[in-house]
């Protein structure tokens, strides 16, 4: 097993089954994050928006919208796993292991569980990772498996989007 620091994207050839990527950036969830995301996605469940209502639940306070947790943990994983991907193929078995609350900080890591060359795109391969999110105490709060298409090294479309400067310094 190899643990990697976060470079700026990986080509299909850079992945090895069994490698684990500890995603560098943590993210503390604020009340605004939870309320805005819930409203943006039209999730009006009072467990996310109504502190008085949530105070009477078994949790005693609002829960962070689980779709926000998925979005943040996915985002944390991009630099290490899918920065050079051009299509998500699917998420499987999303499991919510523990509740997430405002003030929790999320961290995440991904393990490469499968690799295969694309049957239809010679410029890409399919990478499958198992990703999990942890809170600040190291408790697993979420996990899933995700597959995506990643460019092969040298593939057309995998070039840097940085423009060629039109003038010298």
Q: Whole-model pTM? A: 0.88
Q: Can you name the residues that pair with 129 across neighbouring β-strands?
A: 112, 146
Please say if the pLDDT value at position 166 is more than 80: yes
Residues 144, 132: Cα–Cα separation, whole Å: 7
What confidence tens digit (pLDDT) does each residue in 108-142 have?
Answer: 999 999 999 999 988 999 999 999 999 999 999 99
Q: Can you name the residues that pair with 147 across neighbouring β-strands?
A: 90, 128
Return the residue matching tokens 């899918």.
82
Q: In which band, very low, low, confident or very high, does the pLDDT at 6 lie, cut at 50, 70 and 90? A: very low
What confidence tens digit (pLDDT) does each residue in 57-106 have?
Answer: 999 999 999 999 999 999 999 989 999 999 999 999 999 999 999 999 99
Q: How far is CA 43 from CA 20, 119, 122, in A?
A: 33, 38, 40
Please say if the pLDDT value at position 5 is more than 70: no
What confidence tens digit (pLDDT) does each residue in 85-96 have?
Answer: 999 999 999 999
Which residue from 123, 131, 145 is spatially nearest to 12, judged by alpha carbons?
123
Q: Which domains does the chain have, with CATH numbers?
A: 3-151 (3.10.129.10)
Residues 62, 99: Cα–Cα separation, whole Å: 10
The whole-number average pLDDT for the span 138-151 is 97
Q: Give the residue, 9 or 105, on which the prediction is more confident.
A: 105
3-class DSSP assignment, residue 40: helix
Which residue from 108, 115, 122 is spatially nearest to 147, judged by alpha carbons?
115
How much is the pLDDT for 82?
A: 92
Q: Can you name the residues that pair with 85 across neighbouring β-strands?
A: 150
Helix locations, the chain, DSSP H: 31-40, 46-49, 51-55, 66-78
Please say if the pLDDT value at position 8 is more than 80: no
């Amino acid at each position: 097993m190899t643990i990697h620091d976060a470079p700026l994207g990986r080509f299909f050839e850079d992945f090895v089954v069994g490698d684990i990527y500890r995603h560098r950036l943590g993210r503390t969830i604020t009340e605004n994050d939870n309320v805005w995301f819930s409203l943006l996605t039209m999730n009006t469940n009072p467990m996310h928006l109504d502190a008085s209502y949530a105070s009477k639940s078994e949790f005693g306070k609002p829960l962070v919208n689980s779709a926000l947790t998925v979005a943040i943990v996915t985002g944390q994983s991009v630099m290490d796993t899918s920065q050079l991907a051009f299509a998500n193929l699917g998420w499987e078995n999303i499991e919510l292991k523990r509740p997430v609350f405002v003030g929790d900080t999320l961290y995440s890591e991904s393990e490469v569980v499968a690799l295969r060359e694309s049957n239809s795109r010679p410029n890409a391969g399919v990478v499958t990772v198992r990703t999990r999110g942890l809170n600040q105490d190291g408790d697993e709060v979420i996990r899933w498996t995700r597959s995506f298409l990643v460019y092969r090294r040298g593939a057309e479309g995998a070039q840097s989007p940085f423009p060629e400067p039109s003038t010298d310094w």
